[in-house]
């Protein structure tokens, strides 16, 4: 069965997200752990979490994907900013420990003139400082489009980060289709080759989730502007190959397309239709 969901607002809590997911035909979802532009966080609501876990069990929802605020920069030059990223992600991971099977995605960071090598080192140090041996939540590095000085556009950079992390068993990668296409991986014409390269460099066993987005911009644009499924430069045929690819089809897919709930519901219905059941 296709594991498909979309990005949902977390403002009303976990149970509300679970119910919304069911309403729009999803069996998983993604959400921001807190204000994506800042660090403000709501009080911990264990009652809501418990109710959600029960609801998710009854409705077969998950694995869900928590997304860290995208303003965090684990490889900032300023030590205070790096400390902030550490504190936020540590607290998010503590909270996520109440949601069995949840994964936690973050943008590796921007090296801002320090060079990608220095960025990679700082991101690895950051991960070494927040990962705990007994943690249950898998932390995912998201593949980036390569705008500005973003680290994590190439599989080599992601591999270099993972190589330097001690508790690798808690690390994975989330592949964003818009980002990799903008970042010069031709998943439209050469999906097999891109996945072979991912496997050689990072290892497909690390691939835990897909952000399923079309792109507003042409191949290799390094832009990162998501488009609705089938309305961008990636196109519906390529999306159909992606969700059905033998190496991808069992993974959870999360839509981050520019949609309100009815638009997401329509995309989810469309993708279910295109997914081949055996």
Which residues contact Zn ion by CB under 5 A?
A: 224
Give Cα 133 distance to the centre of its chain: 22
Return the one option of Fe ion, Zn ion, none that residue 211 interacts with (CB less than 5 to 8 A, by type): Fe ion
The minimum distance between CB 178 and Zn ion, in angstroms, equals: 6
- The token duo for 66 is 């928590």
The minimum distance between CB 220 and Fe ion, in angstroms, equals: 18
Q: Which of 34, 95, 170, 179 is catalytic?
A: 179
- The token duo for 61 is 């929802």
Q: With respect to Zn ion, which residue has the nearer C-beta, 157 or 224?
A: 224
**CA 27 to CA 59: how far, in whole Å?**
8
Residue number closest to Zn ion, CB atom = 224
**Element containing residue 161 per DSSP (H, E):** helix 155-163
The minimum distance between CB 142 and Fe ion, in angstroms, equals: 5
Site for Fe ion in 130-189 (CB under 5 A): 142, 176
Return the one option of Fe ion, Zn ion, none that residue 111 interacts with (CB less than 5 to 8 A, by type): none
Q: Which of 34, 126, 170, 211 is catalytic?
A: 211
Nearest to 151 by CA among 118, 183, 110, 179: 110
Q: How far apart are the first and last CA of the chain?
A: 9
Q: Is 226 in the site for Fe ion (CB under 5 A)?
A: no
Q: Is 211 in the site for Fe ion (CB under 5 A)?
A: yes
> What is the number of residues in the chain?
278
- Per-position b or e across 23-49, b if 16+ CB within 10 A of its CB: ebbbbbbbbbbbeeeeeeeeeeeeebb
Q: Which of 7, 82, 170, 226 is catalytic?
A: 226
The minimum distance between CB 179 and Zn ion, in angstroms, equals: 6
Contact 71, 38 (CB under 8 A): yes
- Which of 111-119, 160-168, 186-194, 203-211 is the region at the interface with Fe ion (rule: CB under 5 A)? 203-211
The catalytic residues are 37, 67, 70, 107, 142, 176, 179, 211, 224, 226, 256
Residues that bind Fe ion (CB under 5 A): 142, 176, 211
């Amino acid at each position: 069965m296709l594991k498909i969901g979309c990005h949902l607002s977390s403002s009303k809590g976990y149970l509300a997200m679970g119910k919304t997911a069911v309403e729009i035909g999803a069996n998983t979802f993604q959400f921001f752990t807190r204000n994506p532009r800042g660090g403000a966080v709501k009080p911990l609501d264990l009652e809501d979490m418990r109710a959600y876990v029960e609801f998710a069990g009854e409705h077969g929802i998950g694995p869900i994907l928590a997304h860290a605020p995208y303003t965090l920069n684990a490889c900032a030059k300023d030590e205070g900013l790096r400390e902030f990223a550490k504190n936020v992600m540590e607290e998010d991971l503590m909270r996520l420990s109440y949601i069995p099977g949840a994964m936690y995605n973050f943008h590796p960071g921007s090296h801002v003139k320090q060079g990608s090598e220095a960025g990679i080192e700082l991101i690895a140090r950051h991960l070494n400082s927040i990962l705990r041996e007994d943690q249950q939540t898998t932390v995912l590095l998201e593949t980036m489009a390569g705008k500005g000085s973003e680290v994590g556009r190439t599989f080599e950079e992601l591999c270099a980060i993972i190589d330097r992390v001690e508790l690798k068993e808690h690390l994975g990668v989330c592949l964003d289709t818009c980002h990799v296409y903008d970042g010069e991986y031709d998943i439209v014409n050469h999906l097999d080759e891109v996945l072979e390269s991912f496997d050689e460099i990072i290892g497909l066993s690390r691939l835990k989730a897909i952000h399923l987005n079309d792109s507003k911009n042409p191949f290799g644009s390094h832009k990162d502007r998501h488009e609705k499924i089938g309305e961008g430069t990636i196109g519906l045929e390529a999306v159909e190959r992606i969700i059905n690819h033998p190496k991808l089809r069992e993974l959870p897919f999360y839509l981050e397309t520019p949609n309100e709930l009815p638009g997401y519901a329509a995309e989810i219905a469309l993708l279910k239709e295109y997914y081949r059941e055996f």
